[in-house]
Structure 1
Amino acid sequence: MKELRIVIIGGGAAGMIASIAAARNGAEVFILEQLPRVGKKLLATGNGRCNLTNANMNIRSFHGSNAAFALTALKQFDERAVMDFFEDLGIHCVIESEGKVFPASGQASSVLDVLRFEMAYLGVKEICDARVESITYGKKAFKIRVKDRDTITADKVILAAGGKANPGLGSNGSGYTLAKALGHNLIEPFPALVKLKIDAPYLKSLSGAKLNGEAAIEVDGKVLRQERGEILFADYGLSGPPIIQLSRTAGEQLRRGKKANIILDLFPEKSLKEIEDLLKRRTSLREYKPFDFSFIGLINKRFINVILKEAGISALQTPCKDITSDEIKVVARKMKRWVMSISATRSWSEAQVTAGGIDVADIDAETMESKIIPGLYFAGEIMDIDGDCGGFNLQWAWSSGYVAGLSASLNK
């Protein structure tokens, strides 16, 4: 039986695991990577530690026009299978807070090392600095035209070229052009897991300040999602884990032309009444203190004047004895509900992942094969599936890549 030749376009996480799955099944495999080496983006994941997957896998952590599409591949090669796969390659997996799974080495480079070693052992051929210009499909084979190189033929092709997030690491949207030229629809991409721009006059004064609280996205008076953790102020807006996690929802709403607000709660563990009582006690302890001074030791000093001014308190140094109960209530409400207008997300260069992508309606969920072009498969971020922070996006890369590689290697 003739050995299948499979060409994988894109040497990221999805492309590499697809190459291993296909080569283990007897295929001749080539990876075409436009950067000087494969796996560059993988090295940056998990702040350089590589958050391999999440032990608390849930379809609710995935998004897209049809997020349920991901479920089939996630079940075929789930988080346990991912951990077993890497343990077999030599990566000892450890589960940390919130179910995040990391290599015990704490180094993303170790994950890339074992993947490349296995690829080399299986005879996978890496061709780097290879920019694919077009893919044509004939009755018997695909022809892949590569800039300044000979045309490559293939029996099957796996498109694992990524999205548009962080283009310096290889994802520049070129895969979309190739897929669209072959008749596939594109759900307009936008940056996700990214910092948010805020329209507010006080950002410069708060740049670098942090608070531990709760952030929520509110549209038309309805809270769509909320997250807790450390929130960081910058001169452009907000960042920190809760903000990054909320950014996908914010970006989606802004694309729809909606006015999206972010609501900060400085004391999510306390009720509004508890905050009011706390402020009353603090102002009654030293009635001669200036009102603004009474907040020292309660919140970050850099927030005090901003919060009070946002609450409509102009005479900040009014003695506590002259502050009315109504004024305290207004300040308490501001501390529980600090509303800011989101103007935009930050750019592609700062995004961790792409929302949107090739419409999964054009793809078979069982095999990752195109419904339009037989023998063409998709893997990873190029599709309209994206996940939350915490290992979910890499799990999608591993699952979809493994299924695509295995399915493509079947000689049919």
Structure 2
Amino acid sequence: MKPNKTRPIRVAVVGGGAAGLTAAIAARRRGAAVTMLERMNRVGKKILATGNGRCNMSNLDLGINHYHGQNAKFAYAPLGRFDFSRTMEFFEQLGIAWKAEDGGKVFPVSNQASSVLDVMRYEIERLGVEVICEAEVKGISKNDGEFILNLGNGSRFKANRVILTTGGKAAPNLGSNGSGYLLARKMGHQVLEPFPALVQLRLASDFLKQISGIKFDFQAEVLVGERSIARAGGEILFTDYGISGPPILTLSRTVGENLQKGEQVQLKLIIIDYMTRDELADFLIRRLEQQAHKDLPFSFVGFINKRLVPVLLKEAGLRDINKKAGQVTAGERNAILNILQDWRFEVTGTNSWMQAQVTAGGVDVKEIDNKTMESRLVQGLYFAGEILDIDGDCGGYNLQWAWSSGFVAGESAAT
């Protein structure tokens, strides 16, 4: 049954996260009758956890190089249609004052993710969007131009258009359990195998418990064989399972992708990145000479975190780490230098979906029209947000993708 001039288009938004809320607002503003079906007991739970509870809404630099997937350029059109300016105007009209911080990260001035969710919930209520929580969609079929959505409680819901914004698999406790992939597959879409991104890395090492909790400003590189394929720097945190911190989250997408291919992946840490190799060599000679009377571990106090020193010396292969600094041989000094600028770990995996901030992989975008977010396979079916094979770097990029793709899908579905 097709909508006519007296009956508005009926749009069902499946999933009440960032993309779903934006899609619902956009579709309702275009005159559609919108119903949001949310599996959890309330909408927007994942928004509350973003930006450590502050909601990193977007970023001043929305270059396509910050997005990933088998066809990351797919994101060009949605990000261009609902760009940074339009996004900020959208939220300003809802009542959000915003500010930019280091790295171009954009936050609400209130520093509260709850304020972003509050104004979006107010708007969907003001517009008359019907919200049904604890409504899990188990199946979708299409008959004579009309979609039939089968819910877990046995009831059915009908709509002219459907927007799938069910998210990926990251943070399943906040609503994303991967159920949308099953719905997409049943409608004929291909799903590229999802894997966790923006997540901590697990390392093979015998001494992680000794250095757990140590923070340091390192440079980190991802190595496949001897080839460096990604690099990031900043504050890194050792944990009892491996390693964390913003640079590690940034690199985790590359790590996960290569592990999924069956590659052996190493993480290279560059502890001293502010000196060249020759400069560090000269520095070590001078320091060990000046501190010659001290036990070797103590000679590094004031230069390297003292909890880290014994581990570094053992990793450098020194048999007697407690010898006097003045007794260190040229070969041992060279081994210490190597560890300080090329300390390697085998990466055994990433932490689980529960710790991941975002999903990599998802519905293959080659089957979606990026100008409308409509399926190329099923007319009237739209996709937005994390369910798609598009994911962004840490820093507001994933929420911007949710806002942009959700807005385009919502407007397109209502038109």
| Aligned residue identity for 2:25 | I
What are the within-5 Å matches in structure 2 for residues 168-179 of structure 1? 168-179=173-184
Q: Which residue of 2 aligns with 1:235?
A: 240
Work out the CA distance in 2 between the residues paired with 1:137 and 1:302. 63
Deviation at 1:314, TM superposition (A): 1.4
Paired letter, 2:304: I
State how far apart, in whole Å, the 1-side matches of 2:23 and 2:326 are. Answer: 70
TM-score, with normalisation over the residues of structure 2? 0.98
Q: Distance in 2 between matches of 1:139 and 1:267?
A: 66
What is the number of residues matched between the two proteins? Answer: 410
> Secondary structure of 1:315's match?
coil
What corresponds to 2:267 in structure 1? 262
TM-superposed deviation, 1:336: 0.6
Match of 1:32 among 17, 33, 37: 37
1:137 aligned partner, one-letter code:
K
| Rounded Cα–Cα distance in structure 2 between residues aligned with 1:97 and 1:149 | 49
Unaligned runs of 5+ in 1: none
Q: 2:153 aligns to what? A: 148
Q: Deviations over 1:374-402 (max 9, x none)?
A: 00000100000000000000010001000
Amino acid at match of 2:91: F
- Measure, in 1, the Cα distance between the counterparts of 2:350 and 2:57: 26
* Structure-1 residue corresponding to 2:387: 382
Which residue in 2 is equivalent to 1:365? 370
- Within 5 Å, give how 1:317-332 maps onto structure 2: 317-332=322-337
The equivalent residue for 1:9 is 14
The 5 Å alignment of 1:130-141 reads 130-141=135-146
- 1:203 Cα offset (Å): 0.6
Q: Which runs of 4+ in 1 moved over 2 A?
A: none
**What's the TM-score once normalised by structure 1's chain length?**
0.98
Q: Which position in structure 1 is the counterpart of 2:100?
A: 95
**After the TM superposition, which residues 177-256 of structure 1 pair with which residues of structure 2 at under 5 Å, given as runs?**
177-256=182-261
One-letter code aligned to 1:274: E
Q: 1:85 corresponds to which residue?
A: 90
Give, in angstroms, the shift of residue 111 of structure 1: 0.2
Moved more, 114-123 or 315-324: 315-324
* Alignment partner of 1:114 is 2:89: no
Of 283, 296, 308, 1:303 maps to 308
Q: Deviations over 1:161-218 (max 9, x none)?
A: 0000010000000000001001000100000000000001111111111111111111
Counterpart for residue 71 of structure 1: 76
Q: Render the CA deviation track for 1:337-360: whole Å, top value 9, x for unaligned.
A: 100010001101110000000000
Q: CA deviation at 1:245?
A: 0.8
Identical-residue share of aligned pairs (%):
50
**Are residues 1:345 and 2:353 paired?**
no
Deviation at 1:149, TM superposition (A): 4.9
- Cα distance in 2 for partners of 1:4, 1:219 equals 51
Deviation at 1:321, TM superposition (A): 2.0
User: CA shift at 1:325, angstroms?
Assistant: 2.3
Q: Give the AA of the match of 2:322.
A: Q
Q: Does 1:54 align with 2:62?
A: no
Root mean square deviation of aligned Cα: 0.8
1:333 counterpart (332, 338, 341): 338
Q: Secondary structure at the match of 2:374?
A: coil
SS for the counterpart of 2:307 is helix
Per-residue displacement from partner, 1:134-171 (whole Å, max 9, x unpaired)?
00011221000112153110000000000000100000
Whole-Å Cα distance in 2 between the matches of residues 83 and 270 of structure 1? Answer: 42
Task: Provide the C-alpha distance between the structure 2 equivalents of 1:135 and 1:357, rounded to a whole number of angstroms.
Answer: 18
CA positional deviation for 1:333: 1.3
Deviations 1:63-88 (A, max 9, x none): 00111111111100111211111111
